[in-house]
Amino acid sequence: MPFILLQSQSPANLPFLFAAFAITWLVFFGYAFLISRRRQELEREIREMQPGQEDKRDDTPS
Amino acid sequence: MAATKGTSSPFPAAGGTAGGRFPGLSGGLVILTAALMLVNLYLIFMVAPTDAVLGHVQRIFYFHVPIAVVSFLAFFVVFVASIGYLVTRRQRWDSVAHAAAEVGVVFVTLALLTGVIWARPVWGVWWTWEPRLTTTLILWLIYVAYLMLRAYVPNRRQGAVYAAAVGIIGFVDVPIVYYSVQWWRSIHPSAVVGPLADAGALEPIMRGTLFFSLAVFLLLFLYLLLERTALRNGEDQLAARRFAARRNNPRSPEEPADA
């Protein structure tokens, strides 16, 4: 059905198009950011709970 | 913490589990996905032709359909991993099921949102209780309930078993969503992907763009799944360490790490 395909079109519905893409990106970036931040916190907490961590800190020259 | 000193830890090093089993793969995936997403946007806005009937708003289709398909895949992963967990009772299956359910909820939420935004200019309403939309909303509710169940059941192991049951039974809704446009009178367009798809329904260039977009969203799903599974493993690891610390040193259960 190539006869119904045009290369130009009036921009009447562009706000809807923009909204759909913007929301999609906001949600994906927001979710990826939350996972990444939580993982960093977890890694820090786990590192701090590592056995022998206190010894290492004590040995560090001030 | 001091109590665990000198004992061999049953848990891998922090960089192991919490850092993910495949840190290199995850980093590579995010770069590849970002690069391909740029190509995808170019195809959607510069290469794919504008639909003569719907106009530019039809380009939502190249996000809406792949996101919906990937959400089905995510719930299939939940289904398989839940069976795996119930059969083997191995924690890994549960972690994958939990991660896939959460990522699947993100995807199906976006499928609903992009569908609603597309419906307004095309159907004249934001929402209508037609079969495809209604069954998709039910799918969303099932997996939100799945996540709530995990959050609220006090015993984590018991929660995993209940969640696995919901993950298996809930998957029944996925084929219902897919076939709803055929089984009931629906104003939603018929399927363009899968067994119900009509080969001539789309122009080749539109079909190519759609499948490229689908591949990119699959990569994005894989990346998020790996990241979320690693996070869940890290949470388990931390919980186990805290438990061990409390058991060995009950007088300072919540000793600050930097004290």
> Between chains, do A49 and B118 touch, taking CB under 8 Å as contact?
no
Q: Give the global pTM.
A: 0.82
Distance CA B37, CA B221 (A): 13
- CB proximity under 8 Å: B 108-147 to A: 109-110, 113-114, 117-118, 120-121
pLDDT in tens, B59-82: 999 999 999 999 999 999 999 999
ipTM above 0.85, yes or no: no
> Between chains, do A20 and B63 touch, taking CB under 8 Å as contact?
yes
> Between chains, do A27 and B50 touch, taking CB under 8 Å as contact?
no
Residue of chain B minimizing CA distance to A16: B117
Distance CA B127, CA B118 (A): 10
Burial of B63 from C-beta contacts in 10 A (0-12 / 13-18 / 19+)? buried
Name residue B113's amino acid: L
More confident residue, B100 or B21: B100
The yes-or-no verdict on residue B189 having pLDDT over 90 is no
Predicted local confidence at residue B21, as pLDDT: 57
- CB proximity under 8 Å: B 45-84 to A: 49-57, 59-60, 63-64, 67
Ramachandran class of B191: left when φ > 0, alpha when ψ lies in -120 to 50, beta otherwise: beta
- Name every chain B residue with its beta carbon within 8 A of the beta carbon of A48: 257-258
Secondary structure of residue B153 in the 3-state scheme = coil
pLDDT in tens, B42-52: 999 999 888 88
- Name every chain B residue with its beta carbon within 8 A of the beta carbon of A11: 56
The yes-or-no verdict on residue B213 having pLDDT over 50 is yes
